[in-house]
Structure 1
Amino acid sequence: MGCCSVTQRHTGVDEVGPDEIELLELSGDHLGVWSLGESRLQLSVRSSRDDNQPPSCCTSVPQVEQRRNHAGVLWGKSREELHGRIFSQQPIRGWEGRPAHMYGEIIHSSLMCLHSKHSKEKREHFLVLFSFHLLLLSLDHTKQDFIYEGMLPLSGLSFHIIPMDNDSCQSPHMFEISSSMVHPKIFICPNAAELHTWMKHMKDRRHKSRTQPSSPSHCALSYLLPCDEHWKREELKKYLLHAPIWEWEGSPIQHMGPPDYVSVVHIINTHRQGLQERLMILFPQDILLLSVDNKQLNITYQGRLPRRGVRATEKSALPGRLEFELQGELMETLHVSCTCLEDYQNWIFHLQRA
């Protein structure tokens, strides 16, 4: 059987339309965002901080390094905590386009400064490198908020290190990005090692974006698994209702109603040896079983069970042995093992209630 898809798919992450590219521009002493929307060209000027508050931007690059060393990467948080915040659907001021997890994994990120050639102003930014895109976030230190400034496809970007001029007072460790649609932007890294890390990662990801384009749906699935956080489960429910599913049988998945619960489980039945990893999704009338390949790129239909004809029997709630059985008159007994106590308790609750 073939692949069943209910929505039109992009062929790659580099097919970015007007609603998916935000172009950055400098306007006077302020940072602005050029947005290609309905009016095709609109400028939304980002005002700087309150005039009475001294800017915390990179007037001195060592200040950034000091903040990194003594208080985490930013606001006392580690890089992993900041990535989790970006992915966890917490509102990022001014965010536009697809959810962050649709852009794939985060390859690298760091705090650095955007330097204006005209005003000589330096303002702190948090740069995030996804699989094939570069995300620019400005900062509101008072509220500890990110402010969305743009998402740029790497395939169309050029970048190079700006050599140090011994006769000038320019900051060291600088690189510039530009493209046919983006005016040059100069960023100052806190040290030489960070500069070379960015150059290495961006060159590598740009090459891969041109030679190995990846579908946005694949990026989404790989980041949503394992679905071990609430927001991942909620996003996975939405994703599965529109994802291509191989070897699908029966009525379309959209006709099964809204999913009640989803988790990764391991199943043993009487005819097969060993554990089989499955995505188990609970619908109002059915229990759906799906498999995911090792690269987390493709989903395959494995079957569905009617909720009304299935009963769940608890076997073990001990740590490391969170097991129950699914039994029914027209099916063989399935031994189900959960990966965490929360999943076990939710499945027992849903399947044993009247």
Structure 2
Amino acid sequence: MGCCSVSARQAASAGARQDEVELLEIGGSRKWSISEAQSESSLHLRDHVITTETGGNLILDEDEDVQGRIRALNPQAAALWGRTRAELRNFLFAQPIAGWEGESIHSLGEIVWSSLVFMRTCHMEEMSERYLVLFSFQLLILSVDHMQKTFTYQGLIPLAGMSVREVPSDTGCVFEITGSMIESRIISCLSPDEFHIWVLSTRHHIKMANAHCSACPSNILKFLVPCDEPWKKRKLMKYLSYSTILKWEGKPIQHLGPIHYLAMVQVAYVSTGNFVERLLVLFAEDLVFLSIDSERAGIAYEGKLPLAGIQAKEKSALLGRLEFEITGSLMEPILVTCSTAEDYEKCLFHLQKPEENLDTVTVQPPPMVPKKSQKR
């Protein structure tokens, strides 16, 4: 890959579509019972007894079993607000959804299944009422206003890369969705029938989405890179929060906090001077370098540096060059060249710190950064 994979000096010498909104709103919530919480707290310690995507008591012929269960339910039964699921489907396609972002809902295709559930992230104590809508390749999350009988957009999660597993609970109707680039969510269904439909149909369409994505990678990056306009930067920030980043290391990117700024830059080690294109992403405590392939179809992780262990110095002595240098006690100096004055000024603004703060760096543990990639 060449330069910047970010590396420590010691390691160098020796040789990771549409917007997802976090579901933290409180409206329409209920308390999560102690027994359910205990069941979830032991979830990751009891993987050997939990149904997984590749084994367990729910793996049947998913498509046939789901269709059979759906047919067994009364199609004329009211699902929400006295409306059947067919009526709600027509309502979703005909009426505007508050807060909707991105392409039209019609672009998502046919609705596979939908129902009212209770949902929470693994860090929340309360369950919030949500209306989930499963499409062939995405899971749409909506909040519900029972007074106005309207929906509000809360997120759209791609199924590719997702996994589903049961969560032991008193009701037996709880499952968890996880993914390498999304925060896990606990979902409680209102009936055993709906639970089995959700688990089986979601697993089935995850397999379809994985196969589809491997054959037809998303080309949204082609429209966002280079990110030379404010709207492209905003869209790219959101895109990074739910897309798969190859070779990613450490905690999920969502846990690094909000992105303060990003820019396409040219990066080189001072010792070599061989510049390569990188996406520089600034968080509150970390600087992340990503690469984008030549077809603008995929993103790969190239390294991360803690801001507490580095400093940026202006190097634009040469006319017409927007360049600065990143240094640190445990890393090889890196040159960064920006394409616009705005990128240059904002990157320096976030990276530069008073000298007295840098004196404390020596007592901190060495920064955890990936090894330097092999030169081609």
**Structure 2-normalised TM-score?**
0.39
Query: Of Structure 1 and Structure 2, which has the larger fraction of its residues in strand?
Result: 1
Query: Of Structure 1 and Structure 2, which has the larger fraction of its residues in helix?
Result: 2
Which fold has the larger relative contact order, with Cα–Cα distance below 8 Å and residues 6 or more apart in sequence? 2
**Structure 1-normalised TM-score?**
0.41
